[in-house]
């Protein structure tokens, strides 16, 4: 199904920063932050958000932490964020799920392992529990965190997955891929292109597994993007040739 010689994507965060990256979706806070941060956000700091009450009654310490997370997760990628801000008032819930998902995959190595390796390895309809996830995480994180922390982190991963709509369940959970979003998939391709990556190689990456357990669905989604003028698409055998149609306002 997949090329065993996986292509690497430049710019993926590999180092664990548990004080910053805590696998929290922060969907409402993300929307507020990206709506209100200025186009020129290089000098943006958390004091502006405190003074203007961006996040209501949240404490100063909480707002400072949010800025640490968002600086790492979003503002480190100015071109994608610029595109996002141009379309932000037209985006729907599915669009947001894709946007938050790709930023988590790129910036959080634990979430990337969870989505692109662990969930990808499950059989169709297979269920898992929080404790099973924590045990599987042992090989990945044994040199970084203790058992109790792995269990806590497993719960956070599951919560994130449920918020993004890729997990369903109570004590046991089933995985299903993100529901299709025109702007969401376009944004993912645009984001990867800004990392100096050849987006035609996307299906040959580990990251692809976090979006598409089966390659044929990607083919269908590309044709859907092409039909709606988001991309110019040609096929050379089974290999796509993708050219993005927009770089400014998309929606």
Task: Label residue 2 by pLDDT band (50, 70, 90).
Answer: very low
What is d(CA 135, CA 72) in angstroms, rounded to the nearest whole number?
28
Confidence category of residue 118, pLDDT binned at 50, 70, 90: very high
Residue 3: is its pLDDT beyond 50?
Answer: no
Q: How far apart are CA 105 and CA 94, in angstroms?
A: 17
User: For the segment 167-210, what is each residue's pLDDT rounded down to a tens digit?
Assistant: 999 999 999 999 999 999 999 999 999 999 999 999 999 999 99
Tokens of 167: 């997990």
State the pLDDT at residue 6: 64
CA atoms of 31 and 206, how far apart (whole Å): 28
What 174-178 contacts at long range (C-beta under 8 Å, 24+ apart), as own/partner pairs, is: 174/125, 174/126, 174/127, 175/119, 175/122, 177/211, 177/212, 177/213, 177/217, 178/94, 178/97, 178/98, 178/101, 178/211
Q: What is the mean pLDDT of residues 133-155?
A: 81
| Residue 185 φ then ψ, to 5° | -65, -40
Strands 172-175, 231-236: parallel, antiparallel or unpaired by DSSP? unpaired
Mean pLDDT of the residues in the chain: 88
Q: What is the pLDDT of residues 33-88, one digit of tens each?
A: 999 888 777 778 888 888 888 998 899 998 888 888 898 899 999 999 999 999 99
For the chain, state the CA radius of gyration: 18
- What confidence tens digit (pLDDT) does each residue in 216-237 have? 999 999 999 999 999 999 999 8
Q: Is 14 helix (H, G, I), strand (E, B) or coil?
A: coil
The pTM of this model reads 0.91
Pairing assessment for the beta strands 239-244 and 231-236 based on DSSP bridges: antiparallel
Neighbours of 14 (CB within 10 A): 6
């Amino acid at each position: 199904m997949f090329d065993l010689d996986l292509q690497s994507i430049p710019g993926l965060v590999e180092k664990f920063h548990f004080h910053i990256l805590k696998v929290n979706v922060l969907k409402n806070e993300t929307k507020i932050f990206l709506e209100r941060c200025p186009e020129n956000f290089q000098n943006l700091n958390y004091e502006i958000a405190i003074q203007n009450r961006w996040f209501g009654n949240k404490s100063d310490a909480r707002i400072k932490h949010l800025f640490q997370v968002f600086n790492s997760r979003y503002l480190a990628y100015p071109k994608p964020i610029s595109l996002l801000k141009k379309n932000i008032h037209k985006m729907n819930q599915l669009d947001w799920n894709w946007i938050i998902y790709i930023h988590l995959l790129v910036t959080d190595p634990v979430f990337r392992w969870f989505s692109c390796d662990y969930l990808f390895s499950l059989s169709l309809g297979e269920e898992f529990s929080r404790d099973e996830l924590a045990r599987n995480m042992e090989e990945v994180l044994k040199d970084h965190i203790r058992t109790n922390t792995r269990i806590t982190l497993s719960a956070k991963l599951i919560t994130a997955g449920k918020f993004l709509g890729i997990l369903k369940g109570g004590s046991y959970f089933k995985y299903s891929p993100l529901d299709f979003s025109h702007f969401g998939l376009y944004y993912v391709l645009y984001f990867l292109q800004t990392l100096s990556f050849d987006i035609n190689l996307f299906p040959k990456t580990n990251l692809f597994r976090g979006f598409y357990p089966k390659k044929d669905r990607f083919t269908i989604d590309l044709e859907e993007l092409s039909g709606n003028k988001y991309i110019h698409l040609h096929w050379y055998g089974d290999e796509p040739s993708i050219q993005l149609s927009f770089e400014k306002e998309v929606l």
